Amino acid sequence: MKLDTLARLQWPDSPNTEQHWQQLNQLLSQLSAAEKLWLAGFLAGQAQSPEQATTTNQVADQASEQAVLTILYGTQTGNSEGVARDLQSQAANAGLATEVLSLADFSVKQLPKKSHVALIISTHGEGEAPDDAEIFHEQLFAKKAPSLAHLHYSVLALGDSSYELFCHTGKEFDERLHELGAKRLLPRVDCDVDYESLAQQWQQDLLPVLEEALMSAAPAQNNITPLPLAPAKAPMTRVDKHHPVAAEVLAIQAITGRGSGKNTQHIELGIDPTLIQYQPGDSLGIWAHNDAAVVDALLHHWQLQGDEPHTFKEQHKTIRALLTEHIEITQISKPLVQFMAQHINDPALQTLAQSHQQFLEYCEGRQLLDLLHQFDAENQLGVERLLPELKAITPRLYSIASAQSVLDDEVHLTVNLDSATAHGHHGLASGLLCQRLAVDDRVSVYVEPNKHFKLPDDPKAPVIMIGPGTGVAPFRAFMQQRQAQSAPGDNWLFFGNPHFATDFLYQTEWLKWLNDGTLTRLNVAFSRDQADKVYVQDKLRAHAEAVWQWLQQGAHLYVCGDANRMAKDVEQTLLDIISQHGDMSQAEASAHLQGLKRQQRYQKDVY
């Protein structure tokens, strides 16, 4: 409790001056919900007799633990945190005391002190916990996990049904909490990529249950009347996933050379810095509309003109507007394939619905239009039956490749144009950014903060950055920031791509930073420039002793890029380096790497 701060407040002679309320509001903004509840009891006690005050403070202490809803979230892309913040707002409107915490900042040891928990957790990749929940996951499944017989909880699981282990982490957490004795407030809810409607329904169902439980648990506050606060200033315009703003296209420049197997573009967007603020490590969310040519092709397949009215997830518009603005048509979902397999007797389609591996292979380079042309060429299902089975457009996230401390009113991105389908169509956002947009056009954006992919607070700390391909984007921002701060810490980059001649992204900048000393070491792996393929993990292994020395000197490790192959190979290489040069077993090396995660010295931004 920050009572020392309260005691130091310089109250003016008149208790109703603006300075008084500014000081009080500043203090209250620093307190958690539990602390505010405790403080209410404490202040009430100060106005009573000593005997009454003791009783009131004891009650407030108990209430601060028993009558607070703890909202926990684990997220890879920010969606779970968004739901957590929304639940907090709704709970506060209902009069409930709440606290919101990332699982990265919460220990299983704290659960016995909580009575009611709402857990919003995403699943990353093939059934893995998101990075910020890895340690909590390890603690929860440890043999020494505490009994939670007193705990009441509800789980909202976010996932992607295109993966075989759909919402796996949420299912694991739900079952483990119940196994430890905790009681479900509601059955777990599993959400797909278009999670908003299910998440809202979960909140609507959960709040009445919480109100009854928490209001009855909270002791009476002796009719305490809160101090009247000064009128709040008008809030700044809110910018987030649900409230994006327009950014102007300033430049689109190819940064892969002629003959490259990749098409990588450097995108510069102009922003209003009073509305958009970001830090190195954050991502930019892009809301994109579908390609008009693909929409036309779908309308032709369904034998529609485009002006027919339809409804999709409570949106009532023409079918052309729905397909352009709201419906995901660049990706194929597994539930859609399974739905079609129930109504179309095609052996190949049945196989796709039953075999996850074949489903994944089929989806590579194909979109909704390809699926319909192959399995519903006669349009026997029709748009009316298919619309409820389609997903809503979701924003695409791109690591920001610039530092706002250097470029106040700009944000830079590094974007690979997805490979074209057989019909020549590209990805939703990559196609927009790399092909359909032109200078002076506008695109809807918002910032997705990434609190768990940040430069060290100490500018003297060494930094090791591992980012092949477009995974190098956030490290360009890191270097701009370190240079602007004149940070004395050493910086080491491992970068990889197929060819030196065509794929050395931002080569001029990296060499300039290397020459002026901002970048201490640079190791590159161009996999196709020699007979044997060489990747960033091979370069790490080649410099294993130096990597270990840097870690011993307090270096922070960062990995950005492909989650399925690169990140796993890099992590295994790091474990081997720690084991070999730290004279540890693999189990001890794993524990050591987990320790670096706990210290926020090993951070990943993988996708």
Question: Are 25 and 229 within 8 A, CB to CB?
Answer: yes
Using DSSP, state whether 3 is helix, strand or coil: helix
Task: Tell how far CA 540 is from the center of its chain.
Answer: 27
pTM of the model: 0.82
Using DSSP, state whether 26 is helix, strand or coil: helix
pLDDT of 4 reads 45
**Architecture per CATH, 292-389:** Up-down Bundle (1.20)
Using DSSP, state whether 572 is helix, strand or coil: helix
Task: Examine the pLDDT at 5 and tell me if it is beyond 90.
Answer: no
pLDDT of 216 reads 65
* Residues 227, 157: Cα–Cα separation, whole Å: 39
pLDDT of 228 reads 45
Task: Tell how far CA 597 is from the center of its chain.
Answer: 17
pLDDT of 15 reads 46
Task: Examine the pLDDT at 23 and tell me if it is beyond 70.
Answer: no
pLDDT of 77 reads 82
Q: Report in angstroms the alpha-carbon separations of 464 from 327, 555, 556, 589.
A: 41, 7, 6, 18
Q: DSSP alpha helices (H): ranges in 496-543? A: 500-503, 507-516, 536-542
Question: Are 278 and 239 within 8 A, CB to CB?
Answer: no
Q: Do domains 3-217 and 292-389 have the same CATH topology?
A: no
Beta bridge partners, 100, equal 71
In sequence order, what are the residues at sequence separation of 6 or more whose Cβ sits closer than 8 angstroms to the Cβ of residue 5? 27, 30
pLDDT of 226 reads 43
Q: What is the pLDDT of residues 119-177, one digit of tens each?
A: 999 998 778 898 889 889 999 999 999 999 999 999 999 999 888 899 999 999 999 99
Confidence of residue 333 (pLDDT cuts 50, 70, 90): very high
- Supply 380's token pair: 């026997």
In 180-298 the beta strands, taken as DSSP E runs, fall at: 183-184, 189-191, 245-254, 264-270, 283-287
Beta bridge partners, 556, equal 463
pLDDT of 532 reads 94
* Residues 93, 210: Cα–Cα separation, whole Å: 13
**What residue has token string 């940070």?**
487
Dihedral sign from CA coordinates of 35, 37, 43, 46 = negative
**CATH value of 3-217 in 3.40.630.10, 2.40.110.10, 3.90.1300.10, 3.40.50.360:** 3.40.50.360
**CATH value of 463-606 in 2.40.10.10, 3.40.50.80, 3.40.980.10, 3.30.470.20:** 3.40.50.80
pLDDT of 563 reads 87
347-354 helix and 356-363 helix, angle to the nearest 10 degrees: 110
pLDDT of 280 reads 98
Q: What is the pLDDT of residues 398-420, one digit of tens each?
A: 999 999 999 999 999 999 998 88
* Residues 387, 302: Cα–Cα separation, whole Å: 12
**What residue has token string 């092709």?**
297
Question: Are 339 and 365 within 8 A, CB to CB?
Answer: no
- φ, ψ dihedrals at 400, nearest 5°: -75, 130
pLDDT of 428 reads 95
Question: Are 360 and 126 within 8 A, CB to CB?
Answer: no
pLDDT of 53 reads 45
At position 197, the amino acid (one-letter code) is: S
Average pLDDT over residues 299-306: 97
Using DSSP, state whether 589 is helix, strand or coil: helix
In sequence order, what are the residues at sequence separation of 6 or more whose Cβ sits closer than 8 angstroms to the Cβ of residue 338? 353
* Residues 168, 188: Cα–Cα separation, whole Å: 12
pLDDT of 214 reads 83
Q: What is the pLDDT of residues 75-92, one digit of tens each?
A: 888 899 999 999 999 999
* Residues 165, 172: Cα–Cα separation, whole Å: 11
Q: In what order do the strands lie in the sheet with 442-448?
A: 396-399, 283-287, 442-448, 245-254, 264-270, 410-416
pLDDT top residue among 424 and 260: 260
Task: Examine the pLDDT at 466 and tell me if it is beyond 90.
Answer: yes
DSSP structural state of residue 432: I
Q: What is the pLDDT of residues 286-298, one digit of tens each?
A: 999 999 999 999 9
Averaged pLDDT of the chain: 88
* Residues 419, 518: Cα–Cα separation, whole Å: 35
Q: What is the pLDDT of residues 179-188, one digit of tens each?
A: 999 999 999 9
| Other beta carbons within 10 Å of 241 | 18
Beta bridge partners, 101, equal 72
Task: Examine the pLDDT at 37 and tell me if it is beyond 90.
Answer: no
The size of the chain, in residues, is 607
pLDDT of 40 reads 53
Q: Domain 245-288+395-448 classified CATH 2.40.30.10? A: yes
**What residue has token string 């792996």?**
525
Q: Where are the domains of the chain?
A: 3-217, 245-288+395-448, 292-389, 463-606
**Which residue, among 435, 437, 399, has the nearest Cα to 417 in the 3D structure?**
435
pLDDT of 215 reads 73
DSSP sequence for 74-117:
E-SSSHHHHHHHHHHHHHHHTT-EEEEEEGGG--GGGGGG-SEE
